[in-house]
Amino acid sequence: MSPSSLTPLTVSAGWLACNIGKPEIKILDATSHLPTLGRNAKEEHLACRIAGAGWFDIDKISDESSKLPHTLPSAEFFQSKMQALGIENDDHVIVYCNSVFLSAARAWWMLRLFGHDKVSVLDGGLKSWLAISGATESGLKTSQNDRGTFTVRASAGAQMISIASLRQLVKRGAAGQIADARSPGRFAGLEPEPRARLRSGRMPGASNVPIASLINNRGGLRSLDDIAEAFNAGGIDPALPVITTCGSGVTACGLALGLALLGNEDVLVYDGSWSEWGASDAPIESGD
């Protein structure tokens, strides 16, 4: 359970199989892939999705006027998109993905930031559903959802930080713990960024907790002890406040989910992440 809600942070495929027919259960596919992988998440959704699942398009449910990828949209825009997906304020929303970097956590975080605390991540995503032979469907939906009455409310445990605020904290050496979810090579500045025109490196004082270190070989989340160890191994005390960052604000939300599972919601997600920081003149470090 989340410290701020009675709704479980994650649910299993078995739980979903027992509850999928309930009218208050709404399922959203929030799959997203790195641009270098050559995969099309929308096409994959149309080819095979959990029966009844809507499409939470991380790239479209964003501020499309921003030059940055999938930047957080306005509250009004997000509300309209959730209404179009048929979401009600009392719905228990289950978000899932078929992504190697737990992109469903981005939808989980956004829903909570805009006040919807009744949201859970399907642990193991689509793979776990297929493993129990859960019902799937394909193609375009034959009927449109009834428009929901979702309304934006006060944040339900999720928090964010802007580049302006983070730059000031980093400049003063007062940022505290910064957990970067990118791969070790990208964190060290030894591997190129998947997006063009970005410097390589990391924020001064940041620690590396790759999102892969929270995920087991079946695509689900590791045990709580293993998740805690992953943060500790990266130099992050999971019991203290943390700022999370990544390449474009998606896997930073995966770290926020991991910390919430450990009982820590004193977490600020840096939405712009390296797509913004790496393109700016903000200070960077590189090397091991």
Any idea which residues carry the catalytic annotation?
246
d(CA 48, CA 249): 26
- Which distant-in-sequence residues (6+ apart) come within 8 Å of 7 by Cβ? 1, 92, 117, 118, 119, 120
- CA-nearest of 29, 22, 7, 272 to 129 is 29
- CA-nearest of 249, 207, 246 to 230 is 207
d(CA 65, CA 73): 9
Q: 207: how many CB neighbours lie within 10 A of its CB?
A: 18
Q: Coil, strand or helix: which one is 108?
A: helix
